[in-house]
Structure 1
């Protein structure tokens, strides 16, 4: 086992070694602790575990050693190379959940109460949009949707409505790949004493570290690139207020019942170890695919921040290591062209979700965002012919060849 005092200078080193503790039975890999509860040798030991803020060995809805390594690893990667206000290495606390939606629920309910408002933007993941409007709204928490690329509008809202307690952003956003300036928006939020949370699912901590810009929380659907193989559902909430995360956030997490399970946590831990290698190939392929699509006669336009014409090209370049593996593109021909394109694919995978080693394509208007009205979809930039693409790590020539034959029909 790596010495905890050895300074890790490489990102992949942290992805492999951070959070790992030697198993008492000398297992190389952290075991799957498939147990619902944990035994106490004495009444005093039980009392100590219940009193502790780290409830790792009480009951697996509260915590579990398999969860712990995964949580510590993700927190270490989001904090990698960052310092706190005192110049010390940044410390973060992560809470692993059964799904991204469960982690999102913990974020919102631990930071907001009836009468509060949350400010967010257009082009959100459909599940986030529905959680805001169908669950939070019914709980007396009002969502405000604004164009947060317009920083003046964002500040106007904060000036006129003190009920706004949280600003939640998704950058890059799903599925238009729009980016929000994390640093600029966070600076405005802090002037008014507001919390900021960032959905970092599309970027991963390898491409983007929102805590570098002063945000309070980062969220991931770990189902996606962190796991990398489509083998397990999961979500994680990371915060820099350690006490809050171990008390208020943990309490909501435990009471809502959105705990992870040991097997999915194990799969996630193994997936994270290869994240840098996978993301490098994902990103390389995505740039080539975007350039191919940008010149294709059957494509209206491509949403990819690595292309100079993308409206958020410079924002992405400022806060991301690389534009990333996600893109969307508009087909000439609308809804029918979108369905025909999806049906013609021969190698690439027809599926919702993203972040797996194979290339995934979906048609948001008829799939992930079908629950939204057409009016709202268009407001969010989700047009009838829009295709979302998660570029995989296959040979890039094969990806391009499949896309080309599907586009030509």
Structure 2
């Protein structure tokens, strides 16, 4: 990382934390569009492959543009945090080709046959499929529970000696359930269990899981970190630097889910406006949630910023702002939801989230279509649920479009 004085805001970190890359003094991080790197001698090549000399070898193993993006994300997650002895917290990030790839590296580097992972009902559909459909094929057990009930969690821990990882997604997709990271981490540490957190919806600007004891964090960088919907990406971040450089790195390298330099470049540019974007996203989202909550056609609104949200106290404890994603149920259910989506004029009908424009999707038939209907309903994902990622358009234009579609 560049040698800067301590920053006072994440906005400065996002702009200036990238690695100093270019001997030609390029103002912005260059795109190192190369598949491989040269050696000055046979000895140097041997030294790099053995790890005795730092340097780049092959872009699947590492690339300067990718390194720059990794350093920015690690700096954001570690901003103003200290380790157990009071030193600035050091984190290591590995940038992947997708959030799903980052998640796969995390679980496959932490878990082996006969280990158990525990998570909760309301999860991103791809995570649910991976944890409860894919991992059991390799004799990795997966349990599910309401992780807001700490007594129930402790009972599961005590009855499951093979439990190795507790995984949180908070706020959770698409019901916006929020889990107390600190309380779960304290309980997990009593039993030497690791805690992993999907921080995609919050970003480091709204929530820093390492502050509360998390061991690993991952993001789909496709979403708010990039912010413009221009590339797919994911990142795994860990505070066990040795593990991240050995077991996690080897898993990452062998699975082959490395980011491309161009996607890393787009991510770096997007992160420079993260602070400004998240402030505006959250402001708009609160206005939308209040509008929907008062609308006669709406039966239920799930937004972490509403006082009526069941996890409002947890949100206030660990998040700077409550986020930009919400979901809601119309009183006319699935048919009402279809009519509403079809009548939108400005808000965009699309999956994904975190872009500058407002995106609206139908989880049951889109992001969570791979789940059994019974499992979806247990998680609160009914056939009529609508998910909304509130964008940066003028709030009056967003509300007008919603009002027209709900009429």
The TM-score range, normalised by the shorter chain, is over 0.9
Q: Structure 2-normalised TM-score?
A: 0.98
- The Cα shift of 1:51 comes to 2.3
Residue equivalent to 1:214: 213
| Number of residue pairs the alignment of both structures matches | 407
Residue equivalent to 2:40: 41
Q: Is there any run of 5+ residues in structure 1 with no aligned partner, and where?
A: none
CA deviation map 1:352-376 (0-9, x unaligned): 0000000000011121112222211
Q: Secondary structure at the match of 1:198?
A: strand
Residue equivalent to 1:256: 255
Please give the residue correspondences for 1:259-408 in structure 2 after superposition, counting only pairs within 5 Å. Answer: 259-408=258-407
| Whole-Å separation in 1 of the counterparts to 2:223 and 2:72 | 16
- The Cα shift of 1:276 comes to 0.4
Task: Tell whether the 8 Å contact from 2:2 to 2:17 is kept in structure 1 after alignment.
Answer: no
Q: Is there any run of 5+ residues in structure 2 with no aligned partner, and where?
A: none
Residue equivalent to 2:120: 121
Task: Tell whether the 8 Å contact from 2:2 to 2:18 is kept in structure 1 after alignment.
Answer: no
Greater CA deviation, 48-57 or 241-250? 48-57
Task: Tell whether the 8 Å contact from 1:56 to 1:62 is kept in structure 2 after alignment.
Answer: no
| Whole-Å separation in 2 of the counterparts to 1:257 and 1:367 | 27
| Whole-Å separation in 2 of the counterparts to 1:54 and 1:40 | 11
Task: Tell whether the 8 Å contact from 2:98 to 2:233 is kept in structure 1 after alignment.
Answer: yes
Residue equivalent to 2:102: 103
| Whole-Å separation in 2 of the counterparts to 1:91 and 1:3 | 15
Q: Secondary structure at the match of 1:365?
A: helix
Q: Secondary structure at the match of 1:149?
A: coil
- The Cα shift of 1:48 comes to 2.2
Task: Tell whether the 8 Å contact from 1:352 to 1:367 is kept in structure 2 after alignment.
Answer: yes
Distance 1:53 1:249, change over 3 A: farther
| Whole-Å separation in 2 of the counterparts to 1:401 and 1:138 | 48
- The Cα shift of 1:47 comes to 2.0
Distance 1:242 1:391, change over 3 A: same
Does 1:142 find its partner at 2:138? no
Q: Secondary structure at the match of 2:195?
A: strand
Distance 1:22 1:65, change over 3 A: closer
- The Cα shift of 1:158 comes to 0.8
Does 1:187 find its partner at 2:186? yes
Task: Tell whether the 8 Å contact from 1:53 to 1:246 is kept in structure 2 after alignment.
Answer: no
| Whole-Å separation in 1 of the counterparts to 2:361 and 2:18 | 35
Q: Structure 1-normalised TM-score?
A: 0.98
CA deviation map 1:252-292 (0-9, x unaligned): 00001101001000000100011001111101101111111
Greater CA deviation, 360-369 or 50-59? 50-59
| Whole-Å separation in 2 of the counterparts to 1:385 and 1:223 | 26
- The Cα shift of 1:5 comes to 3.9
Residue equivalent to 1:73: 72
Runs of 4+ in 1 over 4 A off after TM superposition: 53-56
Q: Secondary structure at the match of 2:299?
A: strand
- The Cα shift of 1:3 comes to 5.9
Residue equivalent to 2:242: 243
| Whole-Å separation in 2 of the counterparts to 1:3 and 1:324 | 30
| Whole-Å separation in 2 of the counterparts to 1:90 and 1:97 | 22
Task: State the superposition RMSD in angstroms.
Answer: 1.2
Q: Secondary structure at the match of 1:38?
A: coil
CA deviation map 1:117-170 (0-9, x unaligned): 100000100000001122111011011011101111111111111101000000
Distance 1:53 1:159, change over 3 A: farther
Q: Secondary structure at the match of 1:167?
A: strand
Q: Secondary structure at the match of 2:287?
A: helix
| Whole-Å separation in 2 of the counterparts to 1:155 and 1:303 | 27
Distance 1:162 1:258, change over 3 A: same
